[in-house]
């Protein structure tokens, strides 16, 4: 993930407030538009949503293109699941 997205998010979080959504979508276009719409973060849900690690990879790419920080909620709190998500760019 580009470090400038993380740096801008941290700066805005410190100086102001951040705004994001928790969409239940597997459409990368929707995630990309969120960034263009001015949102700061998007939560990609792998716990209760329709997404898998494979589909989350495209959502993370779309978030990066749109300039919005992708935050991924995983199904389990073990290191192997978290590692898979980190490996795809979260």
| Whole-number Å distance between alpha carbons of 30 and 11 | 25
pTM: 0.85
pLDDT given at position 50: 84
**Catalytic residue list contains 14:** no
- Domain limits, the chain: 3-87
pLDDT given at position 31: 95
pLDDT given at position 1: 60
Give yes or no for residue 21 having a pLDDT over 90.
yes
Pair 55, 26: CB distance under 8 Å? yes
pLDDT tens digit string along 29-79? 999 999 999 999 999 998 887 888 889 999 999 999 999 999 999 887 777
Pair 74, 85: CB distance under 8 Å? yes
The catalytic residue among 3, 14, 48, 80 is 48
pLDDT given at position 66: 93
């Amino acid at each position: 993930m580009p470090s400038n997205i993380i740096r801008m998010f941290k700066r805005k979080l410190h100086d102001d407030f951040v705004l994001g959504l928790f969409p239940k979508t597997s459409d990368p276009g929707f995630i990309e538009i969120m960034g263009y719409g001015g949102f700061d973060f998007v939560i990609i849900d792998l716990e209760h949503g329709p997404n898998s690690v494979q589909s989350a990879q495209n959502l993370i790419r779309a978030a990066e293109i749109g300039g919005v920080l992708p935050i991924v909620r995983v199904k389990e709190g073990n290191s192997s699941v978290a590692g898979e998500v980190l490996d795809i760019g979260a």
